[in-house]
Homo-oligomer: A and B are copies of this chain.
Amino acid sequence: MNSQSPAVQDHYPDDFAHCYGCGRLNTNGLHVKSAWEGDEVVARFQPQPHHIAVPGFVYGGLLASLVDCHAMATAAAWSEREAGRTIGQGAMPRYVTASLSVNYLAPTPLGPELELRARVRDFKKYRSIVEVSILVQGTKAVQGEVVAVRIPEAMGGGGTGAKPSP
C-alpha cells in the first residue's frame, strides 16, 4: 500500500457531503473515499453480495456510480493541486457530473475488492475531463470517462476554505 493523502470526501463542505455515492453524512450510502497515491487519485471499494448483476458478477450500475463519485473527487483533488493546496487544507471544491461514459471491458467478478485509479486528462478550472479505471486483482475491467463541472463558490461549492500555499 502506498502512502495516501486524506480522503477528498472527508473535506467536502458539510452541505455537500450527503451524496449517496460518497457523502460521509449519507447513512445509507456507499461512502467512496478517494485519495492521492503518487500522481493518481485512488479509491478502493468492497462490493456487497447484493451488488450483483448476473450470478458471480458486479452490478454495472454500481460500477458506474463508483466511476462517477471517484471522478468528481479526482477533479476536486486536481483543482486543489493546481491551486497549490493539498487535501485537508480547507473545504474541497465540489464538482457535479455533466456526462458519464463507461465501457465494461470484462465482467467484473463479485467478491474481490475493487481498485479505482483516476487522472484528469483535460483540466480547466470549471470543467475537467477525468479518466477512471476499475481494476480487479490487477486486471482492468472498466474504463470510464467523466466530464466534471465545478459548482461555483457562490453556490457553496467549497474551495474557499484555504489560502493558496506560499
Contact = CB atoms under 8 A, between A and B. Distances in A.
Interface of A: 15-16, 18-21, 23, 26-29, 50-55, 59-62, 64-66, 68-69, 94, 96-104, 107, 151
A102 B100 contact: yes
A65 B66 CA distance: 11
Contact of A20 (B55, B59, B94): B59
B104 A101 contact: no
**Which one of A66, A69, A101, A102 has the greatest number of beta carbons of chain B within 10 Å?**
A102
Contacts of A55: 15-16, 18
A163 to B, nearest CB: 25
B61 A65 contact: yes
A141 to B, nearest CB: 12
Question: Which 7 residue pairs across A and B have the least CB separation, nearest first?
Answer: A61-B65, A28-B50, A64-B64, A20-B59, A60-B97, A101-B101, A100-B102
Nearest to A54: B16
A25 B93 CA distance: 40
A134 to B, nearest CB: 13
**Which one of A15, A29, A99 has the greatest number of beta carbons of chain B within 10 Å?**
A99
Given A54-B94, A60-B97, A96-B104, 19 more contacts: A16-B54, A19-B53, A20-B50, A20-B53, A21-B59, A21-B61, A23-B52, A27-B50, A61-B61, A61-B65, A61-B68, A61-B69, A64-B64, A64-B65, A64-B102, A96-B107, A98-B104, A99-B103, A100-B102
Nearest to A20: B59
Contacts of A54: 16, 18-19, 94, 96, 151
